[in-house]
Structure 1
Amino acid sequence: MLRSMGLIAALLLAGCWGEPRTLVTELAGKTMGTTWSVKIAHPENRPVTDALQAQVAALLVEVNNQMSTWQSDSEVSAFNALAAPASMEVSRPFASITAKALDLARISGGQFDPTIGPVVGLWGFGPPKTENRLPTDAEIDAARAQVGYAAIAVDGQRLSKTLDRRLDLSAIAKGHGVDVVADHLISIGYLNHLVEIGGEMRAGGDKLDLGPWRVAIEKPIADDRAVQQIIAVRNIGIATSGDYRNYREIDGEKYHHAMDPSTGRPVTHSLGSVTVLHPSSAMADGWATTLLVLGQQRGMALATEHGLAAYFITRGDGLKASYTPAFAAYLEGVE
């Protein structure tokens, strides 16, 4: 999902006499139409290798080569170009993420649908570029006719479709990119890290003697960075989906990127944002989108049923926060 997720890393630096100081080294770059950052906590006498910047960039290029609908030569674009019925061999990561997206679709009763691309594009939030106008009912019906996750199947590394469908993994791909980078850091010994792509995060370990990683959940207010809640995180993925960053304004009305597959239109309920914590940033990403589409009441019920740590902010008479039992352990500070 191309959006700002409302998460800000709060980093504190300190030192201890007689011991190597703990430093937090930050790397940054651009990917997936947004930015990425990596923060690594390490002793002063064990600096971060200069090669890491290029390694992270290369890993994210590979994720784009697999899952970017904006790249005509990506794996997902090649699959989308096939006329049904058809199948093709794909990379293991692409097959795995598609399978996870299909699982979320089934769990949510289709409210999360990785074939929603035609609807998303029609409303101007994905390829192809569209005019800044409201789509007609006929256009919405035509786009909805191209949506339906049940026509997609994954068997090992073979991806198939029985009807013409276009996969759009943008609601889970950034989280997957975070996981790829975090797993690489662990594999080369950087256990204490905070990885972020466009607001999706994964925290590994902590900041050594500086304490846990602390992340701020923003209030769902456009053009503002006000903090709603601080959470302390360790070895967990974090993702927020909201309606307050990625939106279009047409004839004075705002229409945001979260689409209801059952209507082919942006959702219109009072839920401003939802934050999900999950060991996998990809799954946190996908779940956050799912719960935003469902709304607070249905989203809370589904998140609680599945034991998710989820935090909801709704609008009404001001902003109101609510959260699942599993989220309580992460709260820090006063709402």
Structure 2
Amino acid sequence: MRLSVIRPVIAVALATALTGCFNSVDPVAEIYGATMGSTYSIKWVPVDDSPDVETLQADIDAMLARFDDEVSTWRSDSDLARFNAAPAGTCMDMPESVLTLVALTDRLHKESGGAFDITVAPLLQLWGFHGDPQLQSVPDPQALAETMQSVGQQHLHLQGTQLCKDRALTVDLSSVGAGYMVDRVAERLEQFGIKSYMVELTGELKAVGRKPGDRPWRIAIEEPRDDNRVAQIIVSLDGEGVSTSGDYRNYFELDGQRFSHTFDARNGRPVMHRLASVTVLDPSAAKADGLSTVLMIMGEEAGWKYALAHDIAAFFVVREGDTFESRVTPRFDALTPGKE
């Protein structure tokens, strides 16, 4: 019997519900839009000489469009798509966004022992995550071995302003791209003199400052349920980026076994542990984005040890039969005194 669920992971799914209901007297501006196949939401406290809503939205939309031109894997004319289409042995000049993200993911790849990898797209294709859900299946060993020849971030390297590959690799930066743009949008707001804001792109989020009345920006971290959305804890933020990775929004089940869209590049298979979700806080939303994926790949035991060793602010939710158990690292506890 097959059960297929293909829905995007929402990092902080209830953030809008908690922050979007302001009194009409609250001087908080908001914009919403579409990006990266999903949506974005930005809220801020205006200051003297800050742009009006329409001007700022046009500026942000232009930033997001440029980023799509650079890194999109869903269009053939982006910088990254052209690199992916090139043969082994290619070196190509890349924009700063790609160079920065590859450098970040290189560190995560090495520190995770190769578990985290931005070249696993052929594996998702093989297992049926990039196509008709009815074609999702466990590949035979030979097909998996052949596909693994097109995977391996160790065959990708930076050379000045160029990105080079020794094999015919397909690079996908979606594991860190949204967090990266959260940071860039936050920087843009601060260039306009805005000091209090919340930026959310496709579920990745960062909040800085205080709302009117000296109130904190508060977000809910979702309980990893397949059927509906329930707030598990609520935290107050000031300066932290937030990212959640989980196996409960994009998976398929076959013969009673769950296959997640999160892959361990070392064996080419979806992760098969009890860790249902992990949330990471970090001043860099891009780093939080990548680290949540790293910990999700590693699982409840190795990921916990990694988080402690690297002083990561992380919130783990582990399946225990039909229920969930959660625990937080000391760093997460220290950063979220306002959690409920």
The alignment's TM-score, normalised by the length of structure 2, stands at: 0.90
Residue number among 318, 327, 331 corresponding to 2:332 in the alignment: 327
Q: 1:216: how far off? A: 0.7
User: Is contact 2:64-2:181 (8 Å) kept?
Assistant: yes
Alignment of 1:75-114 (within 5 A): 75-114=79-118
- Would you say 1:133 and 2:140 are equivalent positions? no
Classify the secondary structure of the residue corresponding to 1:212. Answer: strand
Q: CA deviation at 1:107?
A: 0.7
> What are structure 2's unaligned runs of at least 5 residues?
1-6
Helix, strand or coil at the partner of 2:186: helix
1:247 Cα deviation after fit: 2.1
Query: How big is each residue's C-alpha offset from its partner over 1:140-195, in whole Å with a ceiling of 9 and x where there is no partner?
Result: 22222211111111133111112221111111111112112111111112221111
Give the SS at the match of 1:277. strand
CA deviation after TM superposition for structure 1 residue 331, in Å: 4.4
Equivalent residue for 1:4, pick from 4, 7, 10: 10
Give the one of 160, 163, 168 matched to 1:164.
168
1-structure distance, mates of 2:184, 2:287: 13
- 1:186 is aligned, of 175, 183, 190, to 190
CA distance in structure 2 between the partners assigned to 1:248 and 1:331 by the alignment: 37
Counterpart in the other structure of 1:229:
233
The Cα of 1:69 is off from its aligned counterpart by: 0.9
Deviations 1:279-321 (A, max 9, x none): 1111111100110010011111111111111110001042111
- Distance (Å, rounded) in 2 between the aligned partners of 1:173 and 1:186: 20
| Equivalent position amino acid for 1:235 in 2 | G
Equivalent residue, structure 2, for 1:54 = 58
Distance 1:131 1:14 in 2: 47
CA distance in 1, matches of 2:46, 2:22: 11
Shift of 1:49: 3.1
> What is the identity, as a one-letter code, of the residue corresponding to 1:327?
F
Q: Does the 8 A contact of 1:28 with 1:35 survive in 2?
A: yes
Q: Distance in 1 between matches of 2:148 and 2:327?
A: 32
AA in 1 matched with 2:127: W
**2:250 aligned with 1:246:** yes
Contact kept? 1:2, 1:33, Cα under 8 Å = no
Shift of residue 68 of structure 1?
1.2
SS in 1 for 2:266: coil
The whole-number CA distance in structure 1 between the counterparts of 2:255 and 2:285 is 36
Distance 1:249 1:65, change over 3 A: farther
Aligned equivalents of 1:299, 1:4: Cα separation in 2: 20
Paired-residue identity, %: 36
User: After TM superposition, which residue ranges in structure 1, 4 or more long, deviate above 6 angstroms?
Assistant: 43-47
3-state SS, counterpart of residue 73 of structure 1: coil
- Kept in 1, the 8 Å contact 2:47–2:193? The answer is no
Cα distance between partner residues in 1 of 2:33 and 2:146: 38
Q: How many residue pairs get matched?
A: 328
Alignment-mate amino acid for residue 22 of structure 2: L
Partners of 2:157 and 2:8 in 1: how far apart?
25
Amino acid at match of 1:285: D
Q: Which residue of structure 2 lines up, in the alignment, with residue 18 of structure 1? A: none
Compute the RMSD of aligned alpha carbons. 2.3
- Specify every segment of 5 or more residues in structure 1 that has no aligned partner in the other structure, as ranges: 16-20
Inter-partner Cα distance in structure 2 for 1:33 and 1:140? 29
Summarize the Cα distance change of 1:283–1:2 in structure 2 as closer, same or farther, 3 Å threshold: farther
TM-score, normalising length: structure 1:
0.91
